[in-house]
Copies of this chain bind each other. A is one copy, B any other.
Amino acid sequence: MVIPLRNVAIVGVGHSKFGRRVDTSLPELTWEAIKEALNDAGISQEDIEFVSLGNIGVWSSEVSPGAAILEYSGLIPKEFIRVETACSSGSAAVKAAYMAIASGSADIAMALGAEKMNEVDTPRGVEILARIGNYFWEFENFGPTFVGYYAFFATAYMHKYGATEEDLAKIAVKNHYYASFNPKAHFPKKITIEDAMGSPYIAWPLKLYDCSPISDGAAAVIFASEKIAKKLTDSPVWIRAIEGATATSNHSKRENFLSIPSTRIAAEKAYKRAGIDRNNPVKHIDVVEVHDCFTIAEIIAYEDLGFVRKGEGYKLAREEQTYIGGLIPVNLSGGLKAKGHPIGATGVSMIVELTKQLQQRVEKERQAPIEHGTALAHNVGGTGHYVFVTILSLSKP
């Protein structure tokens, strides 16, 4: 492992309102986040040298939506790449912008994530998502939707470890609880266990309230080299690690449906690079965002990230150990479940949230106590086809 020779700081963040944003075009929606991030950093478009965009693209009428976003936002003629790793595309954009700074390609770079999933009707949207699975063997032959894929995991997990549908529902209740304090969330409202348990089945045992919504939204993070960061902010947040890994999209080749192997690999690499004890990471970390596209995914993430032993993740949900004050607070933004999941934006949104958590500037009802100054983001594409784990810290590497 090579130690990066240039440190990378976050110097500004921005976030659009997530939701059904039929009031905006994709460039307008992205600009909401860009404008906020530029203001937060106290810089203008002219200062940006490199822009990355996490965006799936297939929802849009434009095949290559980057150019329209750059033009609308006054970012022409800046260097640009769009990146895609399914629902972890936002983290891939963060990785690209991080590398632009760390490599010496740029001194100031911006990662964008944006998706406008409501540009197509819902059946087409569900089909696009399903095609992010394995097209040839699975979509074409059996037609599973994404909730169907995650139902494989939920049934296997419940059978093996004795978790219940109520345990899954508790994840939804927690994430809606915190979303109720997040004005940018798609669903800023509390729900009860009864609401969740009474919602209709989509793919047994997953019900409507086990699923993240189809959302529109955008997020932006501005990165700078150490020298520039010192001039721009007194409270930089540093990237200590951002590591990716992949797994087969062909579910017949997975070892089991109890774990996402790429989460384990990405986490191990990130912990090593950030100097975090993989056997007890929670002792170093104040606050976490995990990829709760479905409630079962949050429970499995607790285990794959090493917060608890295999088969014990559901107990964290049952015992409410991932609320503020518990073992480790998770998804205080509302998570994908209730903040919303505009798929290209999600990974960038996680970094916006955790930056503000570390800087103690989110709404007080959902502010984690910051003791170690460290936060973790976990972002999954597909059912683990692609995973990124990012460690942020108030302390310089």
Contacts and interface: CB of A to CB of B under 8 A. Distances in A.
A250 B71 contact: yes
A105 B225 CA distance: 16
A138 to B, nearest CB: 10
A350 interface: no
A140 B266 CA distance: 43
A42 B58 CA distance: 37
B79 A82 contact: no
Interface in A367-397: 381-382, 385-386
B78 A245 contact: yes
Contacts of A99: 96, 99-100, 102-103, 105
A75 B136 contact: no
A52 B279 CA distance: 31
A247 B382 contact: no
Residue of A129, A134, A249 most packed against chain B (CB within 10 A): A249
A297 B387 CA distance: 40
A131 B63 contact: yes
Nearest to A50: B244
Interface residues of A, number: 72
A245 B50 CA distance: 9
A246 B70 contact: yes
Contacts of A102: 99, 102-105
A105 B101 CA distance: 12
Contacts of A243: 79
A191 B204 CA distance: 63
Contacts of A244: 50, 79-81
B246 A386 contact: no
A3 B104 CA distance: 6
Given A57-B58, A105-B4, A261-B77, A386 B67 contact: yes
A349 to B, nearest CB: 18
A98 interface: yes
Nearest to A60: B135
A303 interface: no
A85 interface: yes
Contacts of A83: 81-84, 96
B64 A245 contact: no
Contacts of A382: 64, 67
A66 interface: yes
Given A81-B96, A85-B82, A103-B99, A63 B132 contact: yes
Interface string A1-40: 0111110000000000000000001000000000000000
Contact of A58 (B58, B100, B249): B58
Interface in A202-244: 225, 243-244
A85 B96 contact: no
Nearest to A58: B63
A70 to B, nearest CB: 5
Given A76-B247, A99-B99, A107-B2, A81 B92 contact: yes
A171 interface: no
A67 B4 contact: no
> Which 3 interchain pairs have the tightest Cβ spacing?
A102-B103, A79-B244, A67-B249
9 contacts: A50-B244, A58-B58, A62-B131, A62-B135, A67-B248, A77-B247, A77-B262, A101-B103, A102-B105
